[in-house]
């Protein structure tokens, strides 16, 4: 029996491992193991005030705190019957654009591209592709500049609150970003072209693709969830359709659709389900890179991320152009006994929050389902499908292919353990 | 600097959100230069390449919450010439230290289906509770400019220049009007360590203490001021029990509020 093991997955957020075991030429089992220590966020949230959710849940993930802030605020506003103004909704979209730009660019160039080119990391890659890495750093910086201007700082921003923002940033603070964003947009389009010249494994699978629906906009925050197999539900009905299963071989909870099993969320799902909501220019850039729905090759998610970076930069520029910084920055949300549901699109996929609060606004119950838990079943299934190809490869090549396959999902393992019913395998 | 003489830098993760080590990758303008000045010997979030110790400087993110990690940090200490903690988790136990005041078996049963498999300690503790630490950089998250200052200081063998004053000083310096005086917004600024530059008051909200306690604070006096601003005791208790709940002065101040009940 041959075993391919990656003891510590590098270039992912958090701590995980992969093990693929073969018997003869058959794949015996595949495990994506999570050994990040458990963190008890749902338990910590009990007894806290509903106003604290954006600050507390941000700490689940240093890579995508904006997603946690947006899903938690959406859920609380759902509970309290608060509707935010278009100005607040637009500033949230801008804020979210910043996180997508920053997080996607980090993943594309620092975590994933080195796999395609055979480097241990982006710093080694920079020795031969210095211009591309420098451009990537500039794009990432532009995304961070948005998050900092709107949120106060890049990691664990302080400005969001239930009902909106503590204050609207001055118009000048956003307008001064425009030149940098324009340059970053061009760099993102160039990066997409560069990525289209990489070699992609010939691999496709007809996934059930799941994403938030936000009407006629490419989705960030939304009240419905759709799929390419006809799912079209209110976020409030999430738990009637999705269930977390304990899978004996993996010791980690996998989220599944009750009727149909594994599904995929994240850039590939959004791109396929919402392609028509991208601008004509961004769609044309995607087509030039050879991307068009249906795109079923998970390795091409790296290019889809670049498309989303280009889109987010274009969207951010438009939102800043129309921003005037006037009006109420938040809607007062008086406490009431209620339950609320929220979903938004973290860079790596749908993030669901549900809370129950009492009449004093104290949280009685919380549930958080991050994208990485939703993608674990598909991640393992992809490894199972691709494992037979590993026979023709050397052990280091096979290991690299396994890691690259996992990184297609941009897994955020720190996020995943805050809710994963994690078990530690004792050998 | 010749390649062989460059300092070896290692980044280690314990129980954390990854945000503080991300601060290093967020140094977009300095990262490539930094990589020329030091050898990145271990930084799993960024590279699969790993060099053997000893390391000239180890940056440690996260708190100790499992028996295995309590062992691992001792091993890292043995292989590190200097060890610096980065962020509230590593420096005070972080938000995970909320478990220190609760019944952990109950937590596990509430969150996990098969509690018998969960290997965790009932506390989340700072790195300095386990091994000697050469410097503690505060913040949830840390400030990346302060991180660069600390790295620069250690690889050049000097003391980092990180002020220990409160957020109040930062507001005075930046000309931010005091939210507590002007708007009666409860603020932890008077007892909180600066490092962020006073961003919460600048955005019109009270400081919520993510850098932990400043030097020589008077929490009892602040409790009176919160009361005068109309904040309930429960509200102040929650504010102290957040991202630095286990840090000395915050912990003591919350316990004092408990006693007063």
What is the CATH classification number for the domain harbouring A273? 1.10.645.10
Select from A13, A34, A39 the residue whose CB has the most chain B CBs within 10 Å, as the one to mutate to test that interface: A39
Structural contact between residues B94 and B124, judged by C-beta atoms closer than 8 angstroms: yes
- Cα distance between residue A427 and residue A7, in whole Å: 14
- Cα distance between residue A213 and residue B208, in whole Å: 34
- Cα distance between residue A278 and residue A95, in whole Å: 18
| Domain annotation covers residue A294 | yes
Chain B residues touching A148 at Cβ < 8 A: none
- Least Cα separation, residue B161 to chain A (angstroms): 22
Q: What is the pLDDT of residue B201?
A: 98
| Domain annotation covers residue A408 | yes
Structural contact between residues A83 and A366, judged by C-beta atoms closer than 8 angstroms: no
Tell me the pLDDT tens digit for each residue of A320-337. Answer: 999 999 999 999 989 999
- Cα distance between residue A73 and residue A343, in whole Å: 10
CB-based contact A62 B120, cutoff 8 Å = no
The count of CB pairs under 8 A between chains A and B is: 175
Query: Total domain count for chain A?
Result: 1
Structural contact between residues A191 and A132, judged by C-beta atoms closer than 8 angstroms: yes
A108 — pLDDT class (breaks 50, 70, 90)? very high
Structural contact between residues B147 and B25, judged by C-beta atoms closer than 8 angstroms: no
Tell me the pLDDT tens digit for each residue of A72-102. Answer: 999 999 999 999 999 999 999 999 999 999 9
CB-based contact A38 B47, cutoff 8 Å = no
B242 — pLDDT class (breaks 50, 70, 90)? very high
Tell me the pLDDT tens digit for each residue of B7-62. Answer: 999 999 999 999 999 999 999 999 999 999 999 999 888 888 889 989 999 999 99
Percent of chain A residues past pLDDT 90, beyond the cut: 73
Spell out the domain ranges in chain B: 3-155, 167-260
Average pLDDT, chain B: 92
Tell me the pLDDT tens digit for each residue of A336-356. Answer: 999 999 999 999 999 999 999
What the block records as the tokens of A333 is 């949300």
| Domain annotation covers residue A425 | no
- Cα distance between residue B251 and residue B253, in whole Å: 6
- pTM equals 0.94
| Domain annotation covers residue A214 | yes
Task: Provide the residue range defining the domain that includes A145.
Answer: 3-416
Chain A residues touching B186 at Cβ < 8 A: none
* Beta partners for residue A243, in sequence order: A256
Q: What is the pLDDT of residue A10?
A: 63
- Least Cα separation, residue B190 to chain A (angstroms): 18
Domain covering B3-155 assigned CATH 3.40.50.700 in the classification? yes
Q: How far is C-alpha A197 from the geometric centre of its chain's CA atoms? A: 25
Structural contact between residues B206 and B167, judged by C-beta atoms closer than 8 angstroms: no
Chain B residues touching A48 at Cβ < 8 A: 238
Plot region of B177 (φ>0 → left; ψ -120 to 50 → alpha; else → beta): beta
CB neighbour class for B28 (10 Å; exposed up to 12, middle 13-18, buried from 19): buried
Q: Is the dihedral of CA A187, A94, A351, B24 positive or negative?
A: positive
- Least Cα separation, residue A394 to chain B (angstroms): 18
pLDDT at A414 over 70: no
Query: If DSSP codes are grouped into helix, strand and coil, which group holds residue B105?
Result: helix
Query: Which of A75-79, B2-6, B18-22, B227-231 shows the lowest mean pLDDT across its residues?
Result: B2-6
* Beta partners for residue B110, in sequence order: none
CB-based contact A10 B120, cutoff 8 Å = no
Chain B residues touching A138 at Cβ < 8 A: 28
pLDDT at B211 over 90: yes
Structural contact between residues A49 and A80, judged by C-beta atoms closer than 8 angstroms: no
| Domain annotation covers residue A422 | no
CB-based contact B48 A121, cutoff 8 Å = yes
DSSP-derived letter for residue A213 is E
Smallest Cβ–Cβ distance between B17 and the set A60, A122, A126 belongs to: A60
Helices (H), chain B: 19-25, 31-37, 67-78, 88-92, 104-111, 144-155, 167-174, 179-183, 199-202, 219-228, 233-240, 248-260
**Residues near B122 by beta carbon (within 8 Å), at least 6 away in sequence:** B99, B100, B104, B105
- Cα distance between residue A305 and residue A103, in whole Å: 10
Q: What is the pLDDT of residue A36?
A: 67
């Amino acid at each position: 029996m041959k075993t391919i093991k990656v003891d510590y997955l590098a270039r992912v957020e958090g701590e995980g491992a992969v093990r693929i075991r073969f018997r003869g030429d058959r794949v015996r089992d595949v495990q994506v193991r999570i050994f990040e220590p458990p963190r008890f966020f749902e338990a910590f949230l009990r007894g806290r005030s509903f106003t604290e959710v954006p600050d507390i849940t941000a700490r689940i993930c240093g890579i995508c705190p904006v997603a946690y802030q947006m899903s938690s605020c959406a859920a609380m506003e759902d509970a309290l019957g608060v509707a935010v103004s278009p100005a607040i909704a637009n500033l949230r979209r801008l804020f979210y654009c910043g996180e997508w730009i920053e997080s996607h660019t980090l993943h594309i160039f620092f975590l994933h591209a080195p796999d395609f080119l055979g480097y241990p990391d982006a710093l080694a890659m920079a020795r031969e592709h210095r211009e591309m890495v420098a451009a990537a750093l500039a794009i990432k910086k532009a995304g961070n500049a948005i998050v900092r201007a709107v949120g106060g700082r890049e990691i664990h921003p302080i400005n969001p609150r239930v009902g909106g923002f503590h204050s609207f940033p001055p118009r000048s603070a956003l307008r001064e970003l425009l030149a940098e964003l324009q340059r970053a947009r061009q760099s993102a389009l160039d990066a997409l072209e560069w990525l289209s010249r990489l070699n992609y494994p010939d691999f496709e699978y007809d996934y059930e693709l799941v994403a938030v629906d936000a009407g006629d906009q490419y989705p960030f925050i939304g009240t419905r969830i759709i799929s390419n197999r006809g799912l079209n539900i209110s976020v409030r009905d999430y738990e009637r359709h999705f269930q977390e299963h304990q899978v004996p071989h993996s010791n980690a909870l996998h989220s599944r659709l009750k009727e149909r099993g594994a599904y995929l969320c994240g850039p590939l799902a959004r791109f396929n389900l919402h392609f028509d909501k991208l601008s004509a220019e961004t769609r044309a850039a995607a087509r030039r890179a050879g991307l068009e729905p249906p795109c079923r090759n998970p390795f091409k998610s790296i290019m889809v991320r670049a498309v989303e970076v280009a889109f987010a930069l274009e969207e951010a520029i438009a939102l800043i152009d129309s921003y005037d910084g006037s009006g109420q920055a938040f809607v007062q949300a008086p406490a009431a006994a209620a339950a609320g549901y929220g979903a938004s699109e973290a860079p790596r996929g749908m993030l669901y929050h549900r809370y129950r609060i009492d009449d004093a606004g104290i949280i009685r119950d919380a549930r958080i389902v991050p994208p990485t838990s939703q993608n674990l079943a598909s991640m393992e299934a992809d490894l199972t499908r691709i494992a037979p190809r590993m026979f023709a490869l050397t052990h280091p090549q096979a290991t690299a292919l396994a890691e690259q396959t996992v990184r297609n999902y941009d897994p955020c393992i720190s996020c995943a353990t805050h809710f994963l019913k994690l078990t530690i395998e004792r050998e | 600097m010749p390649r062989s003489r460059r300092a070896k830098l290692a980044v280690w993760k314990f129980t954390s959100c990854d945000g503080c080590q991300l601060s290093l990758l967020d140094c977009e303008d300095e990262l490539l230069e930094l990589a020329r000045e030091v050898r990145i010997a271990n930084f799993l979030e960024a590279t699969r390449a790993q060099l053997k110790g000893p390391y000239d400087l180890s940056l440690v993110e996260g708190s100790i919450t499992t028996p295995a990690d309590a062992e691992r940090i001792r091993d890292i200490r043995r292989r590190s010439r200097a060890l610096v903690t980065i962020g509230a988790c590593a420096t005070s136990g972080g938000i995970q230290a909320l478990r220190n005041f609760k019944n952990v078996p109950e937590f596990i049963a509430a969150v996990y289906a098969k509690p018998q498999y969960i290997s965790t300690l009932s506390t989340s503790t700072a790195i300095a509770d386990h091994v000697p630490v050469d410097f503690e950089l505060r913040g949830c998250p840390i400030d990346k400019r302060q991180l660069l200052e600390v790295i620069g200081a250690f690889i050049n063998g000097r003391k980092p220049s990180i002020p220990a004053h409160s957020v109040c000083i930062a507001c005075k310096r930046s000309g931010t009007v005091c939210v507590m005086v002007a708007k009666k917004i409860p603020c932890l600024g008077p007892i909180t360590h600066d490092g962020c530059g006073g961003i919460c008051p600048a955005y019109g909200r009270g400081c919520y203490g993510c850098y932990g306690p400043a030097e020589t604070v008077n929490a009892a006096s602040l409790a009176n001021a919160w009361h005068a601003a109309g904040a309930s005791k429960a509200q102040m208790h929650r504010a102290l029990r957040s991202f630095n709940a286990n840090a000395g002065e915050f912990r003591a101040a919350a316990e004092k509020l408990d006693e007063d009940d």
